[in-house]
Amino acid sequence: MSKQARAFIFDMDGTIVDNMAFHTKSWLAFFERRGRAIDADEFFRATAGRQGHEIMRTYLGADLTLEQTAELDAEKEELYRELYAPHLEAVAGFEQFVATAQEADVRLAVATAAPPANIVFTLDGLDLRRHFDAVVGAADVARGKPNPDVFLLAAERCGVPPEHCIVFEDAPLGVEAARRAGMRAVVLTTTLPADAFAEFDNVICVARDFTDLNIDALFASSAVTNTTTEA
């Protein structure tokens, strides 16, 4: 009898790299140029995981065309890359964790709301793309999180059913997307504290980074636990 295929699916921003403060800072600077003052914490909670065109239409007008939102989003993402480039690095323990997962025949995917240029900036900038069986981004799905599309497509490309996938996320909208996809989730507290995820019944572990995560223990978790590796 063949062994059941398993997969880890990683959100990118805030999960593989601890960068969400820079994304928020660049969004606020972008809107400030347009005379809009927005609360940083409220903005993150409302938008993390959503695609750029969705955010543009929410804050700048639902009548914006895709061409207009794409031009605006390119401006914002250039701001972000300028701010974050000097700080680009993977979250602690990530590379060892994915190397161990590969040795255990776990399939690996990235599922992110990021546009292609940011995927190149992060994955190729850190030489991480080689680890992944699939990379799914904003250009591959029409709807951002909390819709499950990006996770379901990543699972499909890995050839693994949703119930055998575990998602790594840092944002409530992402955890909700995983729940809708029928996937368990590991929360990294790079951006928000553990209590921000208390309502989710698909969270099996909360951790500050990847250093103390055990692959077999994660896949053995079939329901919500109080497992945490936070200091």
Strand partners, 135: 110
**Residue range 19-55, pLDDT digits in tens:** 998 988 999 999 999 888 888 888 887 887 788 888 8
How much is the pLDDT for 182?
Answer: 97
Order of strands, edge to edge, in the sheet holding 107-111?
134-136, 107-111, 7-10, 165-169, 184-188, 203-207
In degrees and rounded to multiples of 5, residue 144 shows phi and psi of -85, 180
**What per-residue confidence (pLDDT) applies to 45?**
78
Do the Cβ atoms of 131 and 110 come closer than 8 Å?
no
Residue 121: its H or E element: none
Q: How confident is the model at residue 2 (pLDDT cuts 50, 70, 90)?
A: low
SS (H, E, C) 85-120: HHHCCECCCHHHHHHHHHHCCCEEEEECCCCHHHHH
CA distance 228 to 206: 5
- CATH 3.40.50.1000 location in the chain: 7-18+89-220
Q: Which of 11, 18, 170, 209 is catalytic?
A: 11
For residues 202 and 181, the answer to whether their CB atoms sit within 8 Å is: no
pTM of the model: 0.86
pLDDT, the chain, mean: 91
Task: Assess whether pLDDT exceeds 70 at residue 224.
Answer: no
- CATH superfamily, domain 7-18+89-220, is HAD superfamily/HAD-like (3.40.50.1000)
Q: Taking a C-beta distance cutoff of 8 angstroms, is the pair 219, 196 a contact?
A: no
Tell me: pLDDT of 227 over 70. no
User: What fold, for 20-86?
Assistant: DNA polymerase; domain 1 (1.10.150)
- Phi, psi for 65 (deg, rounded to 5): -80, 165
Catalytic, 73? Answer: no
Q: How many CA atoms lie less than 13 Å away from 193 in the CB half-sphere?
A: 2
Q: Token pair for residue 211?
A: 């250093």
Give pLDDT tens digits for 140-155: 999 999 999 999 999 9
What contacts 2, CB < 8 A, 6 or more positions away?
A: none
Q: Where in the chain is the domain with CATH 1.10.150?
A: 20-86
Structure confidence at residue 222 as a pLDDT band (50, 70, 90) = low
| pLDDT of amino acid 70 | 87
**Which of 20-34, 66-80, 192-206: highest mean pLDDT?**
192-206
Name the band, by pLDDT with cuts 50, 70 and 90, for residue 228: very low
Around 154, how many Cα atoms within 13 Å sit in the side-chain half-sphere? 37
Instruction: Express each pLDDT in 132-191 by its tens digit.
Output: 999 999 999 999 999 999 999 999 999 999 999 999 999 999 999 999 999 999 999 998
pLDDT of residue 229: 44
